[in-house]
Amino acid sequence: MTTDVLDVPRPVVRSRRGTAVLLSLTALAAIMFVAAAALPYFLSSSYGPPEYAPRRGWLLLHIVGGIIALLTGPVQLWLGLSDRGMEWHRRMGIGYMTGVGLGSVGAFYMATHTDFGWIFGAGLFGLAVAWVATTTLAYLAIRRSLIDQHKEWMIRSYVVTFAFVTFRVIQPALQAARIGTELEQLAVAAWACWAVPLLITELVIQGRKVLAVRAT
């Protein structure tokens, strides 16, 4: 008698377990971020930097979209990468894209109407462009039945989505280390929160392909 686990090669099983652990930790971090940094904006109108007050509606639109994408992403990625529950995967994919669409609209507006300097605004604008571009390419890939490319672009898309969490790590770290002024810290965090993780992701994705081919 055989089981599904016995029919799958051990390296694949280990890979799936590793992916499940990574996505579980990612989901936990996303939930903690939403509870600590996002939900307070809905509980108190005075929460957050006072500079955001005149554009609070756009900020909340951005946050709502970000929450949807941030929380649906890990589940959707797990279903897609493990080729399970494709119907739920497609439904959650629609929700994820909706979140990205809403969040990016708010992000573009906030990036072009910021009080924290043009470098900070440019970093947020670049993040929004990367967010839309990676998600759009993931959608176009699946529409053309390019499964592997779809998976890769969805990974990139969620890495950009997770930049909201990464930002909340980088900026306080720079502040604690007393590196630069407040505006400089915000500017560095606005770029580093998505550009650096996206570069690392690309190195991993492409590096695995290169190393999988034996040298001749």
Summarised one tens digit per residue, pLDDT across range 172-214 is 999 999 999 999 999 999 999 999 999 999 999 999 899 888 7
Pairwise CA distance, residues 28 & 36, whole Å: 12
Minimum mean pLDDT among 1-10, 126-135, 187-196: which range?
1-10
Closest by Cα among 138, 155, 68, 77 to 104: 68
Query: What SS3 state is found at 150?
Result: helix
pLDDT at 14: 60
- For residue 51, the 8-state DSSP code is G
C-alpha–C-alpha distance, residues 195 and 191, integer Å: 6
Distance CA 188, CA 87 (A): 40
| Average pLDDT rounded to a whole number, residues 85-110 | 94
Q: What is the mean pLDDT of the chain?
A: 90
Q: How far apart are CA 91 and CA 211, in angstroms?
A: 35
Instruction: Identify the DSSP state of 180.
Output: S
CA pair distance 22, 2, nearest whole angstrom: 28
Q: Token pair of 53, please? A: 């007050």
Q: Does position 4 have pLDDT exceeding 60, yes or no?
A: no
Structure tokens belonging to residue 176? 């604690």
Confidence of residue 5 (pLDDT cuts 50, 70, 90): very low
Of the pLDDT bands very low, low, confident and very high (cuts 50, 70, 90), residue 8 is very low
